[in-house]
Amino acid sequence: MTSTFPEGFLWGASTAPHQIEGNNVNSDFWANEGRVPGMERSGDACDSYHRWGEDLRLLADAGLNAYRFGIEWARIEPVGGRFSNAELAHYRRMIDSAIELGLSPVITLHHFTNPRWFAEAGGWLADDAAERFGAYVEAACQILDGVEWVVTMNEPNMLSIMTAMARAATRATTEDWQSPTVDDRPRPALPPPDPEIGDRLIAAHRAARKIIRAKINSKVGWTVANRAFAARPSGEAKLTELQWIWEDQYLAGSAGDDFVGVQAYSSQWVGADGIEPYPAHPDNTLVGTAYRPDALAMAVRHTAEVTGLPIMITENGIATADDSRRIAYTSEALAGLADTIADGVDVRGYLHWSLLDNYEWGHWKPTFGLVAVDRETFVRTPKPSLAWLGGVARRNRLPAQEG
């Protein structure tokens, strides 16, 4: 087994616009933030809308060579059919600067948030949803020249859950609508992704892919949240059933793509009765999940088996206040990843979640960042994990004792 990564391997970190930019006021998530009890607001977030230059430099100075970030549909098309050239130019400047700094941009077109007008017109459940998304994707293509990796949608399996929850909220009380992630209180069981919504998202993804391929030369794919399910002896049949609903439908939906993004954080047991909640444990993360660095390799092997596509690790990380645990977690996750590569899996890069401590969809306490951010002054303070990951990137291998 080797701890050296393939030549040209991408090393970087990931973010999402709503979680870092601040004041994403034309988005549906912004509108919902005040409605759910116990949910904190994103507000100015990390002010990355203005401070993105600093963010890029932090990555480049550390020795990383890639940055996954999103462009925000709600800014680019704040009103249906009206596209903002100024916002498109804003994101093009980010792309140009990233390339100048030696950071390969991995661009996400949709990361959970929708423009408010789109949500109000029925969102992903409206008959013309794919068409509306396609019009935005077409506009976005104007600024994507030279971008090698394009992600149409982040975690369609999670988006399917969020879409069903939003539908429930319009029908019932706001209490039925929960933020998708919580802090270290026991995680409420999420409803499973809705397969019918999943089919709609697959259709929208494929329509977007077609538009992108006609306009630019990027590699196109989407990223799937992987639960790294593992079966108890009695849970084999249930595992196959749940794997399809939670992730394989979306992995199958990536057929014909140029790559698939793997996003893995923890692993969960499946018994005869279904998914077992994470038991309380002192090692649990700040989002209540089990400490399972081995989840990454599990997710990679499963994704490779189902899709046969080249893989990009688009998210992997840990919500912890103790940065030495972040390094330990990532080191073990990467050792497992190196094993999958040694076994022949085609992995093209590793993008850590996240560059910054950011807005965790309703909560500020779960900190995933390689860099701390002062919420008042927005001053960025790199944690030791940033230099550590940069060192791995520069050497393109894990330190010997950890390999």
Alpha helices in 184-224 (DSSP H): 195-215
Instruction: Tell me if 264 contacts ligand BGC by CB under 6 A.
Output: no
Instruction: Tell me if 16 contacts ligand BGC by CB under 6 A.
Output: yes
User: Cβ 72 to ligand BGC, closest distance in Å?
Assistant: 13
Query: How far is Cα 366 from Cα 320, in angstroms, rounded to an integer?
Result: 7
* Spatial contact of 370 and 355, defined as CB atoms under 8 Å apart: yes
Q: Which is nearer to ligand BGC, 19 or 243 (CB)?
A: 19
Tell me which residues in 298-357 interact with ligand BGC (CB under 6 A).
315, 353
Tell me which residues in 364-383 interact with ligand BGC (CB under 6 A).
368
Instruction: Tell me if 260 contacts ligand BGC by CB under 6 A.
Output: no
Query: How far is Cα 282 from Cα 38, in angstroms, rounded to an integer?
Result: 24
DSSP state for residue 77 in the 8-state scheme: S
* Spatial contact of 307 and 366, defined as CB atoms under 8 Å apart: no
Number of residues that bind ligand BGC (CB under 6 A): 13
Instruction: Tell me if 181 contacts ligand BGC by CB under 6 A.
Output: yes
Indicate if 155 belongs to the active site: yes
Token pair in block for residue 350: 């590793």
Total Cβ atoms within 10 A of residue 102:
12
Instruction: Tell me if 84 contacts ligand BGC by CB under 6 A.
Output: no
* Spatial contact of 386 and 370, defined as CB atoms under 8 Å apart: yes
Residue type, 287: V
Of 35-43, 61-69, 151-159, 170-178, the window that binds ligand BGC (rule: CB under 6 A) is 151-159
| One residue of 95, 158, 251, 299 binding ligand BGC per CB under 6 A | 158
Residue with tokens 């932090």: 58
What Å distances lie between residue 190 and 16, 47, 260, 377, CA to CA?
Answer: 21, 30, 24, 35
| One residue of 109, 225, 262, 389 binding ligand BGC per CB under 6 A | 225
Q: Which is nearer to ligand BGC, 154 or 303 (CB)?
A: 154
Alpha helices in 4-108 (DSSP H): 17-20, 28-33, 48-62, 73-76, 85-100
Q: Which of 21, 77, 87, 155 is catalytic?
A: 155
Angle at 108 between CA 291 and CA 137, to 5 degrees: 150
Query: How far is Cα 106 from Cα 300, in angstroms, rounded to an integer?
Result: 19
Instruction: Tell me if 360 contacts ligand BGC by CB under 6 A.
Output: yes
User: Cβ 197 to ligand BGC, closest distance in Å?
Assistant: 17
Residues 106-145: x where in contact with ligand BGC by CB under 6 A, - otherwise, as a string: ----------------------------------------
Of 25-33, 150-158, 269-277, 378-386, the window that binds ligand BGC (rule: CB under 6 A) is 150-158
DSSP state for residue 34 in the 8-state scheme: T
Instruction: Tell me if 155 contacts ligand BGC by CB under 6 A.
Output: yes
Active-site positions read 155
Residues forming the site for ligand BGC (CB under 6 A): 16, 19, 154-155, 158, 181, 225, 263, 287, 315, 353, 360, 368
